[in-house]
């Protein structure tokens, strides 16, 4: 007998053999056992996850000579003929090769006739999204009211291309991509039954390369068996998949982790010698960075038999979570930029060098990727005049304030809108005080607290009352009493204890604070900035000239300072 490939030999023949699609199997099994059968089923999902296989098993369950049920016998003539592709009442159609409406009408001409042998006449239409719009229209009426002896089983990898009128007439089942662990265990089972020698560390490599498809995994396993002469070994699987021992992507990440630019370029040189697919290597880097991020947050996700376990654990400890996120974003953006580069290697090198250049240095300064402070502006550019000023009005109102804040400068008093040059001075950030003796100290501490959400709002709306003898007493305006949540108070207390360096009892009195709270101060300052912006527009001669020229008024609320 001729050799049968593993993907066909190990194709599931019953619902119990299906891997990773329990949600679909359960629904179909219950429907069969309760005799609650629909006339049309649609199976969707990526290639190789079991769409056509499920349709064939369902066809067996419907036509088994032992009766309708979720466990077809598999030995009667109907089951054997369906498994062999010879059952006369199972009409399998590849929609990609029958897109013309005349072919669809010919297919449906036999729908009214009773099945020749089975209980039901089953139409299995694969890749149904390839039908033309006319073919769908021809199918639509039959699909809505088929004879009782007809069942339609549709399969597709692209359900978005199917008209909603067809979707609404089908029961739709979405088959998910298989997890690498599910594929790995299935491959282990196949090799053990086949009696073939294998290294367990080779199976995760095949499972990952299959990208969620069991059929692809079995085809790769077939290739690995042939490559290894009847044995599946890790080194041989790596070579077959186009990688080398040590893994190119891992070596590149190791050079990035050490911030070693010469070594990084040397690794790229080694990669280039292998005639690689640089876009694919970027995708490999993204996958590895994603796995490192998962390992850093949930270490238990790393399987004990992972072939790269030691290297992944080492890299997850050497690259900070922040750098992992930075590298991921740089490489992700690099995928878009790569086709625009003079050649793939140049683009690939620039992506890696960009990741290295933006990597923050430990000391926060210096040439190795440290972020430099923006230069301090010493003057404000003169305003444009004429028509160009129309485009610059908004920037005069809000942009200059934002620019000053972003560059660390402030305007000196007296520099009004009519001045051409404003003197500026650096803004000095006040550090949080070590002691808490006044309302001013309290506001400075709150401004530096690393809090978020309701706890931050609670702190901003509290006023200082008393501190000492293991007690911190705060006042909260009755209008903000809704912020008093136990979890928010607990987070505020813990953060303040870390800031002040001692434990205490936190008491919050719901009374109007005697002093201005930080939230009230910021609201007041925002209102003052708003009034200043409106006044600035009113005093600006160019803006006033435009208003008079067009006999217009400013839209209320449209003049806003930067937040």
pLDDT digits (tens, 9 = 90+) for 27-56: 999 999 998 999 999 999 999 999 999 999
Q: Which stretch of 182-186, 474-478, 483-487, 559-563 has the lowest confidence by average pLDDT? A: 559-563
HSE-up of 399 (CA within 13 Å, CB side)? 9
Contact present, 502 and 471 (Cβ < 8 Å)? no
Q: The pTM is what? A: 0.56
pLDDT digits (tens, 9 = 90+) for 317-362: 888 888 999 999 999 999 998 889 999 999 999 999 999 888 775 4
Q: pLDDT over 70 for what percent of the chain? A: 85
pLDDT of residue 246: 44
- Domain ranges across the chain: 6-174, 180-240, 248-357, 439-515
User: What pLDDT shows up at residue 378?
Assistant: 37
> Mean pLDDT, to the nearest integer, of 539-552?
81
β-strand partners of 150: 121
pLDDT at 432: 52
Asked if the 248-357 domain carries CATH number 1.20.272.10, the reply is yes
Element (H, E) at 172: strand 171-174
What is the token pair recorded at 77?
Answer: 């003539």
pLDDT tops 80 at residue 396:
no
Q: 521 exposed, middle or buried (CB, 10 Å; 0-12, 13-18, 19+)?
A: middle
Is the pLDDT assigned to residue 404 strictly greater than 80? no
Per-residue confidence (pLDDT) for residue 71, from 0 to 100: 92
180-240, CATH topology level:
Helicase, Ruva Protein; domain 3 (1.10.8)
Contacts 24+ apart (CB under 8 A), 531-537: 532/561, 533/397, 533/398, 533/559, 533/560, 533/561, 534/559, 536/396, 536/397, 536/416, 536/417, 537/393, 537/397
pLDDT computed for residue 433 by the predictor: 55
Question: What pLDDT band is residue 380 in, cutting at 50, 70 and 90?
Answer: very low
| Cβ–Cβ < 8 Å for 543, 537 | yes
Q: What pLDDT was estimated at residue 90?
A: 92
User: Does an H or E element contain 457, and which?
Assistant: helix 453-460
Architecture per CATH, 6-174: 3-Layer(aba) Sandwich (3.40)
Q: Tell me, what's the pLDDT at 563?
A: 53
Which ranges constitute the DSSP H helices of 273-320?
278-297, 309-318
pLDDT for 423-445, tens place per residue? 333 333 345 555 788 888 888 88
| pLDDT of residue 249 exceeding 90 | no
Q: 202-236: per-residue pLDDT in tens?
A: 898 899 888 889 999 999 999 999 988 889 998 88
* Higher pLDDT, residue 548 or 420: 548
**pLDDT of the residue at 242:** 65
pLDDT tens digits, one per residue of 444-454:
888 888 777 78
Indicate the pLDDT class of residue 156, thresholds 50, 70 and 90: very high
The predicted pLDDT at position 434 comes to 58
Please, what is the Cα angle at 57 between 96 and 196, to 5 degrees?
95
Q: Among 261-275, 363-377, 534-548, where is mean pLDDT lowest?
A: 363-377
Same fold yes or no, 6-174 and 439-515: no
Report in angstroms the alpha-carbon separations of 39 from 102, 145, 486: 23, 9, 56
- Out of 13-17, 101-105, 377-381, least confident range: 377-381
Q: Which DSSP state fits 429? A: P
439-515: CATH topology = GMP Synthetase; Chain A, domain 3 (3.30.300)
Which backbone phi and psi does 67 adopt, to 5 degrees? 115, 165
Mean pLDDT of 72-96: 90
The per-residue pLDDT for range 158-207, each reduced to its tens digit, is 999 999 999 999 999 999 999 888 999 999 999 999 999 999 888 988 99
Q: Rounded CA gap, 517 and 455, in Å?
A: 15
Total number of residues shown for the chain = 563
CB distance 72 to 79 below 8 Å: yes
Residue 499's pLDDT band (cuts 50, 70, 90): confident
Q: What is the DSSP letter of 396?
A: I
Two tokens at 228? 């290894």
pLDDT at 386 over 70: no
Tell me the DSSP string of 194-238: HT-EE-GGGHHHHHHHTTT-HHHHHHHHHHHHHHTTSEE-HHHHH
Residue scoring higher pLDDT (371 or 275) = 275
Report helix, strand or coil for 425.
strand
- Average pLDDT for the chain: 81
Return the bridge partners of 508, or none.
Answer: 474
């Amino acid at each position: 007998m001729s050799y049968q490939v593993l993907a066909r030999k190990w194709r599931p023949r019953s619902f119990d053999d299906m891997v990773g699609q329990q949600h679909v199997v359960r629904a179909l099994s219950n429907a069969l056992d309760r005799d609650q059968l629909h006339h049309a089923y649609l199976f969707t999902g990526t290639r190789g996850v079991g769409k056509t296989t499920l349709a064939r098993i369902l066809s067996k369950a419907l036509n088994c000579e032992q009766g309708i049920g979720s466990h077809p016998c598999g030995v009667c003539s109907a089951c054997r003929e369906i498994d062999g592709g010879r059952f006369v009442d199972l009409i399998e159609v590849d929609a990609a090769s029958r897109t013309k409406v005349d072919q669809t009408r010919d297919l449906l001409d036999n729908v009214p006739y009773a099945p020749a042998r089975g209980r039901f006449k089953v139409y299995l239409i694969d890749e149904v999204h390839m039908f033309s719009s006319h073919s769908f229209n021809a199918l639509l009426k039959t699909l809505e009211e088929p004879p009782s002896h007809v069942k339609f089983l549709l399969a597709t990898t692209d359900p978005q291309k199917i008209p909603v009128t067809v979707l609404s007439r089908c029961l739709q089942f979405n088959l998910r991509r298989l997890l690498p662990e599910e594929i790995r265990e299935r491959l282990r089972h196949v090799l053990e039954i086949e009696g073939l020698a294998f290294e367990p560390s080779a199976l995760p490599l095949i499972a990952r390369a299959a990208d969620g498809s069991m059929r692809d995994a079995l085809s790769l396993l077939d290739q690995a068996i042939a490559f290894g002469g009847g044995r599946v070994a890790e080194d041989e699987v790596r070579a077959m998949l186009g990688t080398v021992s040590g893994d190119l992507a891992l070596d590149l990440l190791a050079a990035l982790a050490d911030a070693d630019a010469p070594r990084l370029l040397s690794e790229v040189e080694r990669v280039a010698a292998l005639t690689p697919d640089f876009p694919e290597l970027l995708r490999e880097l993204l996958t590895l960075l994603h796995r490192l991020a998962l390992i850093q947050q949930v270490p238990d996700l790393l399987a004990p038999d992972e072939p790269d376990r030691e290297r992944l654990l080492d890299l997850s400890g050497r690259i900070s979570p922040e750098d992992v996120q930075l590298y991921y974003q740089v490489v992700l953006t690099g995928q878009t930029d790569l086709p625009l580069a003079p050649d793939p290697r140049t683009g690939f090198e620039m992506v890696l060098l960009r990741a290295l250049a933006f990597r923050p240095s430990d000391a926060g300064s210096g040439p190795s990727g440290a972020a430099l402070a923006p230069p301090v502006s010493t003057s404000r550019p003169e305003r444009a005049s004429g028509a160009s000023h129309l485009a610059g009005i908004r920037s005069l109102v809000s942009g200059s304030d934002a620019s000053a804040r972003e560059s660390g400068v402030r305007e000196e008093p007296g520099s009004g809108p009519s001045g051409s040059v404003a003197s500026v001075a650096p803004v000095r950030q006040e550090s949080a005080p070590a002691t808490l003796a006044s309302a001013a100290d309290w506001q400075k501490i709150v401004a530096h607290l690393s809090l978020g959400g309701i706890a931050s709002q609670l702190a901003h709306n509290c006023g200082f009352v008393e501190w000492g003898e293991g007690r911190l007493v705060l006042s909260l305006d009755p209008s903000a009493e809704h912020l008093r949540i136990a979890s928010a108070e607990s987070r505020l207390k813990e953060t303040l204890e870390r800031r002040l360096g001692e434990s205490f009892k936190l008491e919050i009195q719901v009374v109007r604070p005697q002093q201005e709270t930080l939230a009230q101060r910021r609201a007041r300052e925002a209102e003052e900035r708003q009034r200043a912006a409106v006044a600035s527009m009113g005093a600006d001669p160019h803006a006033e000239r435009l208003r008079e020229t067009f006999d217009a008024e400013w839209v209320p609320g449209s003049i806003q300072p930067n937040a």
